[in-house]
Amino acid sequence: MGKGNFSEDFKRDAVAQIVERGYPVAEVSQRLGVSQHSLYGWKKKFAMSAGSSADDRDAEIRRLKRELSRVTEERDILKKPPPISPRMQSEIRVRCGASL
């Protein structure tokens, strides 16, 4: 197995075959013509970068949930009819009676 320069996409696809599809490292290594050592290194490299992006994604989800909660609360407040005191009702009736 010679030394080759593989693109990042090729490396990610090779790692995906191991991690996501469950193929053994030895089989992927033989099929792609890559050493097992290289595959393990790529797997470690992409697992670290995937972990940080997962943390970023989790933080974004938490932020969006807080924002959704706040916006939902604001919407519910705006949907409620304004409280009408008994004094306001009599004033409204007086004005309605006077206009007729």
CATH number assigned to the domain covering 8-80: 1.10.10
Per residue of the chain (100 residues), give pLDDT as tens: 455 688 989 999 999 899 888 899 999 999 999 999 999 999 998 877 665 667 778 888 899 999 999 999 999 988 888 777 666 555 555 555 555 5
Neighbouring residues of 29: CB distance < 8 A, sequence distance ≥ 6: 35, 36, 38, 39
CA distances from 54 to 45, 51, 57, 83 (A): 14, 5, 5, 46
**Structure confidence at residue 86 (pLDDT):** 61
